[in-house]
Amino acid sequence: MTDSSSPSTVKARLPRGFADRGPAEIGATNSMLEAIRASYELYGFEAVETPFVEYTEALGKFLPDQDRPNEGVFSFQDDDEQWLSLRYDLTAPLARYVAENYDKLAKPYRSYRMGWVFRNEKPGPGRFRQFMQFDADTVGSASVAADAEICMMAADTLERLGIGRSDFVIKVNNRKVLDGVLEAAGLEGEGRAAQKLIVLRAIDKLDRLGADGVRMLLGPGRKDESGDFTRGADLAASAIERILAFTAARAPTNAATLDNLAAAVGASARGQEGVAELREMAALFAAAGYEGRILIDPAVVRGLEYYTGPVYEAELTFEVKDEHGRPVRFGSVGGGGRYDGLVARFRGEPVPATGFSIGVSRLVSALRAMNSPLVSGRNLRGPVVVLVLDRDQMPRYQKIVSDLRAAGIRAELYLGSAGMNAQLKYADRRGSPCAVIQGSNEREKGEATIRDLVLGAELAASTKDRADYLELRQRAQFAVAEGNIVDAVKEVLSRSK
Amino acid sequence: MTDSSSPSTVKARLPRGFADRGPAEIGATNSMLEAIRASYELYGFEAVETPFVEYTEALGKFLPDQDRPNEGVFSFQDDDEQWLSLRYDLTAPLARYVAENYDKLAKPYRSYRMGWVFRNEKPGPGRFRQFMQFDADTVGSASVAADAEICMMAADTLERLGIGRSDFVIKVNNRKVLDGVLEAAGLEGEGRAAQKLIVLRAIDKLDRLGADGVRMLLGPGRKDESGDFTRGADLAASAIERILAFTAARAPTNAATLDNLAAAVGASARGQEGVAELREMAALFAAAGYEGRILIDPAVVRGLEYYTGPVYEAELTFEVKDEHGRPVRFGSVGGGGRYDGLVARFRGEPVPATGFSIGVSRLVSALRAMNSPLVSGRNLRGPVVVLVLDRDQMPRYQKIVSDLRAAGIRAELYLGSAGMNAQLKYADRRGSPCAVIQGSNEREKGEATIRDLVLGAELAASTKDRADYLELRQRAQFAVAEGNIVDAVKEVLSRSK
């Protein structure tokens, strides 16, 4: 029951960590999404979408050994007591979808989707609890050619968005290589899963914390600027240095990097397998002409534990200013990797899969930072406003605005109750290029006045002694016969195109 | 923590009442949304979007006199104990948005938005717990010209979607008129709110239940086919007949209908006000040339209690078959009305507003039912598939597929592990127009084979003794030099355009 009759008022406020979006942001995001969609379609990926709600169990989001959902997700119980959660990414729901529709899908199954995801986390500046991702995944291919294809698609997509080849790089690594390094450092085995996750997340912070910060996270732990302490992996000094050396193993060419990696994994069979997969991918990049845009980089590990093979990240390399005004690389706008275990949760047999996720808001920010016409060049010109001076003549004004719309001109009738000056101010706030004015004088003559608001604003800002002032003033506001309003408005609109 | 290492499998299943969407539905919906957006932009409406989550209090969705959210909404508590809910429509969040940003917005404020909404209700066939609405609202205008504009916009939008003037009607009524009729029938006063809502919902079912069904709902109540009993409004027989006569007061012209309504409200001041507002709207419709497309119809009341003035509904009048194969009118695809009280909940002062909401899935179904090219004519041709016959030649195949994509041709490399016949079958399932095949023989000659899968399928279905069989067979599969693959594929694609 809507409580609309209550006399007490309710405070109007967004929930913490959520945001409204205005026309400029919606328009910019839609243009960008359209370009990404076109790129993914070219690669043979097809659209599929899942709902916002899944069984908590399907998301794998119960707390360990408890019947309570993880606090990081928004959860609620259905009327049959089953726990439901808002999706926290687009990968887990895709795994559910593929498992549920396995026999119907032509495999390998390439698909893409964009959508909002939700995190029940402490909100902060720039940290939202609802944000948009754009994912592409190939399910049912064990070949690293599938991973390579997605890396190339990521590169093509960034170029299609107008990001030059010198301004981005796709970095590729392989979890098996890291496993090999850990093994060679004496850190293998199932019992080490939690420790390994700490190692992954530590390496993932290299960009932000540098080698010294990561060294602390691999060792005893690290206290950040706010005083918060992050537990470390408690590795021995020799293991820490071995891992740090591995992350720094990138060489000028993919071939040289691969040789470094082969040395780093030593005799580890899993490590060697990872290096061989990276060699295969490097050959595909070279054959298709992507060398230089896609680099093997051991510093890329990705913080999610479910990756099982190749991992990759799209990084923008141009500089922007950070919050202290210092130049920093823009950084990651997306990433992904192979997750052969996620669909297996449902099917009990391994189903190979690999996928890439773009952080949509972050990519829009990047395009804004580089003044991309895709997001900033949109024509945000407001509608033509037809003023209402005599309220009893509404049908007449309505006809004018209907005629304008019928001619394809964005137009509106002023619907408020203010006077003429306030109506013109309203038209300015709306970004209107032009106003149509008809008072009783004009009406009796069968005329209307057209006011060019763009030219009018220019004139108001200029001096009256310029030579063409009078001529311009005549162009900025003039009378036309009622039957010629549409043509006159068209003429005014064509001036500022 | 993702529970991906668990050996026990989880059942892959959609939550009850939710649905996945495939490429055909997503494509059809997006084309339609784009057309609606263009129509709303032409009317000067601008995009705005709110998050999926609001404070339960802001939605007005607490149970009466309790601190517990209504069971009809999905709700959960934030870590500060405040109740949050998934939005159940797009109107309540807009009211919150406008109230929160009141001084920033140029008023009257015209905006549109499309988005998913959620109902925590018992799911059933065709009844989903997540569905999409497309809304347009004007806030800050008390003039019924705002309501009239939205009705005209609804008509223009349906036409833009290819629905002919004989296939739809926008029906308009006014809650004040109904109030006048109830008053004249002795049913006025605040204490009657619950009873009035029952009356509204009963009249809203006229289309589905007919006059006899509504008569029961206005009286003692009604048992439906499944045996469920719906409580009635318990009105006296004379009041029931008066209301039913009012709903049947539509005449051949708006002018004649208005005369009937003026008689039905008798001396009620509120009723007379409603009739005057409808007269004003009818004059605007006539001036702008919408007579015949927009009809005053007393049978339209809308089931929501928050409407305060004009209410309107977009109805498709062409016939489709119902579940029993009987011809029925397609019916409503959207509706709305004036809700002057919703923003007032936050601001403590009345803020006039009116808005229209389209049921997106229902409108897509309608366009499908009429074979609209907007939703069914989309080119769903699959990608060109490059077969992989020798796995050690992946880089070579990758180059072929990259060259095709660089030429703007939707293409993919086969990434599975099956043999040639299974790969061709995969290409068929994907709807591929053409396959590129290169075995060792062809490779040694520097060639590839192009197979036209469309022509190939035609030939397979025809007889071998047609005169042009051999010539066609040659066109359906032919060899080209490696350097000419892109041109050959282009030629094949141009055949089936």
HEC string of chain A equals CCCCCCCCCCCCCCCCCCCCECHHHHHHHHHHHHHHHHHHHHCCCEECECCCEEEHHHHCCECCCCCCECCCCCEEECCCCCEEEECCCCHHHHHHHHHHCHHHCCCCEEEEEEEEEECCCCCECCECCEEEEEEEEEECCCCHHHHHHHHHHHHHHHHHCCCCHHHEEEEEEEHHHHHHHHHHCCCCCHHHHHHHHHHHHHHHCHHHHHHHHHHHHHCCEEECCCCCEEECCCCCHHHHHHHHHHHCCCCCCHHHHHHHHHHHHCCCHHHHHHHHHHHHHHHHHHHCCCECCEEECCCCCCCCCCCCCEEEEEEEEEEEECCCCCEEEEEEEEEEEECCCCCHHHHCCCCCEEEEEEEHHHHHHHHHHCCCHHHHCCCCCCCEEECCCCHHHHHHHHHHHHHHHHCCCCEEECCCCCCHHHHHHHHHHCCCCEEEECCHHHHHCCEEEEEEHHHHHHHHHCCCCCCCHHHHHHHHEEEEEHHHHHHHHHHHHHHCC
- The residue of chain B with its CA nearest to that of A305 is B2
Structure tokens at A176: 């098996």
Query: What is the model's pLDDT at position A7?
Result: 52
Residue among B57, B60, B110 minimizing CB distance to A4 = B60
**Alpha-carbon gap, residue A244 to A212, rounded angstroms:** 10
Q: Do A394 and B22 touch (CB under 8 A)?
A: no
Query: What is the model's pLDDT at position B351?
Result: 93
Query: What is the model's pLDDT at position A378?
Result: 55
Query: What is the model's pLDDT at position B5?
Result: 46
Structure tokens at B108: 């009257």
Contact B492, B452 (CB under 8 A): yes
3-state secondary structure of B103: helix
List residues bridging with A138 in a β-sheet: A110, A354
Q: What is the mean pLDDT of residues A222-238?
A: 88
- The residue of chain B with its CA nearest to that of A427 is B106
Residues of A in contact with B280 (CB under 8 A): 394
pLDDT (tens digit, 9 = 90+) per residue, A146-158?
A: 999 999 999 999 9
- State how far residue B171 is from chain A, nearest Cα, in angstroms: 19
Structure tokens at A234: 């408690």
**Alpha-carbon gap, residue B453 to A53, rounded angstroms:** 40
- State how far residue A287 is from chain B, nearest Cα, in angstroms: 5
Residues of B in contact with A402 (CB under 8 A): 152, 287-289
CA atoms within 13 A on the CB side of B419: 1
Residue among B96, B287, B409 minimizing CB distance to A12 = B96
Query: What is the model's pLDDT at position A274?
Result: 97
Cis peptide before A252 (omega within 30 of 0): no
- Cα dist. B157→A364, B161, B168 in Å? 30, 6, 11
Q: Do B346 and A415 touch (CB under 8 A)?
A: no
Q: Which residue has the higher pLDDT, A143 or B182?
A: A143
Total-model pTM: 0.91
Q: Do A5 and B396 touch (CB under 8 A)?
A: no
Q: Do A96 and B12 touch (CB under 8 A)?
A: yes
**Which of the following CATH numbers is that of domain A23-376: 2.60.40.10, 3.30.930.10, 1.10.357.10, 3.40.640.10?**
3.30.930.10
Q: Do B51 and A138 touch (CB under 8 A)?
A: no
pLDDT tops 80 at residue A5:
no
Q: What is the mean pLDDT of residues A340-366?
A: 93
**Alpha-carbon gap, residue B53 to B86, rounded angstroms:** 5
- The residue of chain B with its CA nearest to that of A86 is B86
Cα dihedral sign for A463, A465, A466, A469? positive
- The residue of chain A with its CA nearest to that of B306 is A4
- Residue B352 carries which DSSP code? -
Contact B51, A15 (CB under 8 A): yes
Instruction: Label the pairing between strands A327-338 and A353-359.
Output: antiparallel
Q: Do B43 and A405 touch (CB under 8 A)?
A: yes
- The phi and psi torsions of A34 (rounded to 5 degrees) equal -60, -40
Strand (E) or helix (H) holding B312: strand B310-321
**Chain-centre distance for alpha carbon B464:** 49
Structure tokens at B323: 């579940």
Q: Do B76 and A78 touch (CB under 8 A)?
A: no
Residue among A48, A129, A304 minimizing CB distance to B20 = A48
pLDDT tops 90 at residue A29:
yes
**Alpha-carbon gap, residue B36 to A74, rounded angstroms:** 32
- State how far residue B99 is from chain A, nearest Cα, in angstroms: 6
Q: What is the mean pLDDT of residues A460-476?
A: 83
Q: Do B53 and A129 touch (CB under 8 A)?
A: yes
Site of tokens 């408690």: A234
Average pLDDT, chain A: 91
Residues of B in contact with A426 (CB under 8 A): 106-107
Q: Which of A240, A221, A219 is nearest to A229 (CA)?
A: A221
Strand (E) or helix (H) holding B319: strand B310-321
Task: Give the start-to-end residue ranges of the domains of chain B.
Answer: 23-183+245-376, 384-495
Per-block average pLDDT, block size 10, for chain B (497 residues)?
A: 56 95 93 95 96 94 80 91 95 96 95 96 88 97 96 96 96 94 78 81 87 91 88 89 89 94 91 96 94 93 86 95 86 94 90 96 92 74 94 94 95 94 94 96 96 91 79 92 97 87
Query: What is the model's pLDDT at position A2?
Result: 45
Query: What is the model's pLDDT at position B3?
Result: 45
Assign domain B23-183+245-376 to its CATH architecture: 2-Layer Sandwich (3.30)
- State how far residue A454 is from chain B, nearest Cα, in angstroms: 18
Query: What is the model's pLDDT at position B371?
Result: 87
Contact A255, A291 (CB under 8 A): no
Residue among A4, A43, A193 minimizing CB distance to B306 = A4
Determine the number of helices (DSSP H) and then strands (DSSP E) in chain B: 19, 18
- State how far residue B101 is from chain A, nearest Cα, in angstroms: 9
Residues of B in contact with A387 (CB under 8 A): none
Query: What is the model's pLDDT at position B63?
Result: 77
pLDDT (tens digit, 9 = 90+) per residue, B43-94?
A: 999 999 999 999 999 998 887 777 788 889 999 999 888 999 999 999 999 9
**Could you tell me the CATH superfamily of domain B384-495?**
Anticodon-binding domain (3.40.50.800)
CA atoms within 13 A on the CB side of A244: 19
pLDDT (tens digit, 9 = 90+) per residue, A14-27?
A: 999 999 999 999 99
**Count of pairs with CB atoms under 8 A, one residue in A, one in B:** 327
Q: What is the mean pLDDT of residues A288-299?
A: 93
- Cα dist. B176→A252, B271, B275, B308 in Å? 77, 5, 8, 7
Strand (E) or helix (H) holding B412: strand B411-413
> Which one of A1, A61, A360 makes the best mutation probe of the B interface by having the most chain B beta carbons within 10 Å?
A1
Structure tokens at A336: 């992904």
Strand (E) or helix (H) holding B55: strand B53-55
Going by C-beta distance under 8 Å and a sequence separation of 6 or more, which residues neighbour residue B7? none
